[in-house]
Amino acid sequence: MPTVSSPLRVGICGLGTVARGVVRVLRENSEIIQLRAGRPIVVTEVASRRARPEVDLAGAGFSTDVTSLPNHPEIDVLVELIGGEDTALSLIESALMAGKPVVTANKAVLARHGDELQQLASKQGVSLGCEAAVAGGIPVISALEHGLAGNEVEWVAGIINGTCNYILTAMARSGQSFETALADAQRLGYAEADPTFDIEGVDAAHKLTILSSLAFGMDHRFSEIHVEGISGVTLEDLGYAGQLGYRIKHLGIARRSAAGVEIRVHPTLVPETHLLAHVDGVMNAVLIHGNAAGDTLYYGAGAGELPSASAVVADLIDLARGTALPPAANRAVDIPVIPIQQNVSAHYLRIPSSDRPGVFARVATLLSEHEISIEAAIQRAQAIHTESEEHWVPIVIVTQPVIEGKVTEAVAAVQALPEVVGEIVRIRVDDLDGH
């Protein structure tokens, strides 16, 4: 029977980048970890479907049968790091059913099954740690659960996918193509196994689901999030955004209002004077506005071996010293998710148009008929493109904030003009002041 001062015995499922980092951090920082935890934390078992004899497991047992780990008699906690959904979910459930706490970095499983898993953990009286699931090494889960616990959180906005941020930064800074920047992000180990999860916004939506649940005390509502990725962002749009005083960032935004909560993930023009506009490369940042604390900003590496391991080990230390609590029962409040067409946003519009007199006036008239005011516009002669016999130029407009439904109607009307010769590009603009 383990005693209070006996080691916390850890079983790790998975032997990828993060798992190797956890083994390394527990070994290299063992003295300080033991001091803080009040007892040693030791990896006793590792299970991974693929054996990796080159990895030094510091004396832990190894098995290729991952299903045996949750009930293994020599572990006190399961650390789930295999990723994916189905097997990971059943491993977490088995450990909780066996009365063992779980630490996981699995944002996909939490976003889709977080409510059931929290209920199960609550019923079993064990904790479910997930610091590593959102924004890698940034302790943002802890900030929401502890540091900001006395606040009504009004909104959260974050750069929470390192791969998207890496790609957009490389494109904006050095004019790299989307494809080259993505290949680099994959080579550097930032991207998910299926990089479409990164570039189409799914990974960020998983993380925003978890953040929203903690920030607003709501259920995990992944399927109701409006999700857009960055595959449509071009060098041309990054250039125009720059000329207008903005940078394009891929943001997750969740805002509480009397009507419910907006939850959305999409490329966003952010004023270049805003701190988030300067979060570059693979770095992540989460800005949280609480009604007492005001704005607080959390910045750091959102992916990678040691940053993610740092978060997993923090959860293990909490467990070892007895401060990791089971989730509260029936914690979720029923808050409606506001449909995206009712959301209020300013928009950037790039309208490829024939270079003929009166086109800009026609576009402006249609916008005003839909009660949309123009904040800024660019139409420059040097932007002329020539295709077949006709010259065309992009009309670039930033609107004032307006209900999205009106923008959708106005864009459809402008798109139907005979002078509009290509697909209109539409990107939201947010000054991140909470309005």
Question: Which residues have a catalytic role annotated?
Answer: 207
CB closer to ligand HSE, 105 vs 340? 105
Burial class, 369, CB count within 10 angstroms (exposed 0-12 / middle 13-18 / buried 19+):
exposed
Tokens matching residue 394: 């992009």
> What is the three-class DSSP state of 18?
helix
Structure tokens at 285: 């940042």
How many Cα atoms sit within 13 Å of 293 on the Cβ side?
A: 20
CA atoms of 101 and 130, how far apart (whole Å): 11
Considering the complex, state which of residue 88 and residue 407 has its C-beta at the smaller distance from ligand HSE: 88
Minimum CB distance to ligand HSE, residue 166 (Å): 7
Name the residue nearer to ligand HSE (CB basis): 13 or 429.
13
Nearer to ligand HSE, 191 or 407 (CB): 191
Least separation in angstroms between residue 117's CB and ligand HSE is 18
Q: Which two tokens stand for residue 229?
A: 């990725």
Name the residue nearer to ligand HSE (CB basis): 101 or 307: 307
* Distance set, CA 277 to CA 22, 32, 158 (Å): 31, 36, 11
Which spans of this chain sit near ligand HSE (rule: CB under 6 A)? 136, 161-163, 190-192, 198, 203, 302-303
Class of residue 273 by CB neighbours under 10 A (exposed 0-12, middle 13-18, buried 19+): exposed
Write down the least CB distance from residue 276 to ligand HSE, Å. Answer: 15
Structure tokens of 344?
Answer: 């209020």
Q: Are 268 and 253 in contact (CB under 8 A)?
A: yes
Smallest gap from Cβ 250 to ligand HSE, in A, equals 10
Smallest gap from Cβ 202 to ligand HSE, in A, equals 10
E strands in 272-414: 283-290, 294-301, 344-354, 374-378, 385-387, 390-399, 402-403
Q: Is the Cβ of residue 209 or residue 343 nearer to ligand HSE in the bound state?
A: 209
Unique residue bearing structure tokens 């900030």: 143
Cα–Cα distance measured from residue 220 to residue 248, given in angstroms and rounded to the nearest whole number: 27
Please identify, using beta-carbon distances, which residue of 230 and 372 lies nearer to ligand HSE. Answer: 230
CB of 198 to ligand HSE, least distance (A): 5
| Nearest in space to 132 (alpha carbons), one of 246, 264, 284, 291 | 284
3-state secondary structure 189-243: CCCCCCCHHHHCCHHHHHHHHHHHHHHHCECCCHHHCEECCCCCCCHHHHHHHHH
Closest separation in Å from C-beta 375 to ligand HSE = 32
390-399 and 374-378 as β-strands: parallel, antiparallel, unpaired? antiparallel
Residues 423, 128: Cα–Cα separation, whole Å: 46
CB closer to ligand HSE out of 302 and 401? 302
Task: Supply the minimum distance, in Å, between the C-beta of residue 143 and ligand HSE.
Answer: 17
